Amino acid sequence: MPKPAGTVILDKKGIQRALTRIAHDILEKNQYSKNLALVGIRSRGAFLAERIAKILGETEKTEIPVGFIDITLYRDDIQTRLEQPVIQKSELMFDVVDKVIVLVDDVLFTGRTIRAALDEIIDFGRPRAIQLAVLIDRGNRELPIQPDYVGKAVATTLKEEVVVKLTESDSQDLVTLMKLSKPTKYALKK
Amino acid sequence: MPLRSKHLLGLEGMGKEEINLILDTADTFREILERPIKKVPTLRAVTVVNLFYESSTRTRISFELAEKRLSADSVNFSTDASSVKKGETLKDTVRNIAAMKIDMVVIRHRSAGTPHFLTQLLEASIINAGDGAHEHPTQALLDMYTLRKKYGKLKDLRIAIVGDIRHSRVARSNIWGMQNMGAKVAICGPTTLLPWEVEKMGVEVYHNLDEALSGADVVMALRIQLERQQSSYFPTLREYSQLFGITRDRLKLLNKDFTIMHPGPMNRGVEIADDVADGPYSVILDQVTNGVAVRMAVLYLLSGGEGKFEESG
C-alpha cells in the first residue's frame, strides 16, 4: 500500500480499538439503561454507529437500535452556500421518546453539526438523554458542545484538516492529519 | 450537480439529470411529512410571496404548506382582495412587493410568459405556478414523482393524456417532462381541443379514446376547462363524456398494474367517472400529498445563497 499523505492519527487497528473502547464506555456509563439507541450522522458517522452497534451486539447479546440522520436541512449556513447540497434521508425507525441516544460522528470540530443533529433528533420526540461519541475530537469549538466518548483527541489548527477514510465509503480504514494552504474553515466539504 | 437556473419557469428543455435531482430531493422531503414534527428550519431566512392572479385551491395551499414546512415566511396575494381591483398593473404590483425585500415569488397568471416577464423585473427567484395555457412545472414534477415512486422509473412507461390538451398547461409540462425522462406519451381528445401541430411535440395523437388507451400504463384525465372556453369546442358535455370520459369499462384496455391520474379539480361524470376516480388504482390523492414534497424540493433547491462553502465540523 502506498505511504499515505499527511500524518497518520489512527490506522485500521487504531480505529478498531477506539471503537471497541467507546462501545465499552457506553455500556459502563449506561449499564442500568434498557433504552439505549445509536444515531449516526451521515455519512461517516452512520458507518461508525453501525460498527459500534455490532460490537455492542456481540458483547451484550442484544440488538441495539441504530438510526441515521442527515443534518443538511438543519444547517446554519444553508443561506450562504453557493449551491444546495444533495440531501439524504434521515432514518429513525424507532421511537426516540425516553431513549438514551448516543449520537455518533467521525470528527468533532466547530460543534455546529452536532447542534444541528440535536435539533433534528428533538424534532422526532423527547429522548431521556443524548450523549455524544466521536472518533476524533480536533478541538476549535465554536459552540459550547463536548463529547462523552472520544476515540482520540488531537490538537489541530485551522490550517490543518482531519481526513477520515472508512472502508464502507473509501476502500480503507485510516485517519490522517493534512496541512492546508489556507484555513480549513473555507475548505470544501465533500 | 445543482439546478442550472435560479428560476423554475417550465420543464421544456430541462434535462433528465435536473428532473431527477428534484425528484430525489422530493423523496427526502416526503419522509419529513411523515414525522411527528413536519417542519425543518432550513429556509428560516427566506421570504416567499405567493402571487395568485388566478384562482387555485390545491396549488396554492400546497405551496403555502411547503413554505411553512421549510420555515420560510410566506405572504399570500390574491387579486380579489388587492389593489389589482383598483387598476394597478402587474408591473407596479410586483415592483412594490419587491421593494419589501422578498427572496422568492410563486406566480400564477392567466397570461403565458408572465413568470418569464417577472425575471426581468426582479432579483428574486421566480417559480411558475401556472401561466395561461403554457406550463405548470410543479404539477408535472409531482405527477412524475408519483409515477416514479410507483413504477421505479419513467422510462418506457406508456402514458395517455386525455381531454382538453389545448387549454392545458399541465399537459404541456407533462409532455415535455415525461418525454425528457424517456416515457412514451400519447394524447387524445376531440380535434377542437388539441393544439395545432401538436404532433411536433413528439407525441402520438389519437381522436379515438379506445385506441389511445390500448396498451397504456397510465391515464391522465384532464379537466374540461369551462372557464377558458369562450366558444364551444364540442356539442354537449354528455357527448363529450360518452366519447372521452374515462369509465370503468374502458379500464380493461389498459396494461396490468395501471394508474389513473387527474390533476384536479375534477368534473366528476364528465372526463372521469365516479368509480374510476375513487378506485384503488387511482393515485389522485397521492398526487396531492406528493405535491407538497415536490414543492419543498423546488423551494430548497432554488434557495441557494451566494457565498463561500463552509465546513461545519
Helices (H), chain B: 16-32, 58-69, 90-98, 114-121, 137-151, 169-180, 209-213, 237-244, 274-277, 284-302
Model pLDDT for residues B49-81, shown as the tens digit of each residue: 999 998 888 899 999 999 999 999 999 888 776
Q: Return the pLDDT at A188.
A: 42
Residues 6+ apart with CB under 8 A from B105: B48, B49, B51, B94, B97, B118, B122, B124, B125, B126, B127
- Using the structure block, give the residue that is written with the C-alpha cell 404541456: B172
- Dihedral sign of CA atoms B164, B166, B170, B174 in order: positive
Fold of the B139-287 domain: Rossmann fold (3.40.50)
pTM of the model: 0.85
From chain A, pick out residues whose CB is under 8 angstroms from the CB of B43: 78
pLDDT-based confidence at residue B311 (cuts at 50, 70, 90): very low
Cell, residue B1: 450537480
CA distance A19 to A173: 12
> How many Cβ pairs within 8 Å bridge chains A and B?
97
State whether A123 and B36 contact (CB < 8 Å). Answer: yes
Model pLDDT for residues A49-81, shown as the tens digit of each residue: 999 999 998 888 888 999 999 998 888 776 666
- Indicate where chain B has its CATH 3.40.50.1370 domain(s): 16-136+289-302, 139-287
- For an interface test with B, the pick among A71, A72, A78, A97 (most B C-beta atoms closer than 10 Å) comes out as A78
Instruction: List the single residue in A with minimal CA-CA distance to B3.
Output: A83
CATH code linked to domain B16-136+289-302 = 3.40.50.1370
Residue pair B262/B238 in contact by the 8 Å Cβ criterion: no
CA distance B58 to B234: 28
Residue pair B168/B133 in contact by the 8 Å Cβ criterion: yes
Of B31, B308, B309, the CB nearest to A90: B31
Q: Does domain A10-74+88-185 have CATH number 3.40.50.2020?
A: yes
Q: Does A70 touch chain B (CB under 8 A)?
A: yes
Instruction: List the single residue in B with minimal CA-CA distance to A89.
Output: B28
Q: At what angle do helices B137-151 and B169-180 cross, to 10 degrees?
A: 50
Model pLDDT for residues B200-227, shown as the tens digit of each residue: 999 999 999 999 999 999 999 999 877 6
- Using the structure block, give the residue that is written with the C-alpha cell 478541538: A139
pLDDT-based confidence at residue B307 (cuts at 50, 70, 90): very low
CA distance B98 to B75: 12
Instruction: Supply the DSSP symbol for B41.
Output: -
CA distance A174 to A136: 12
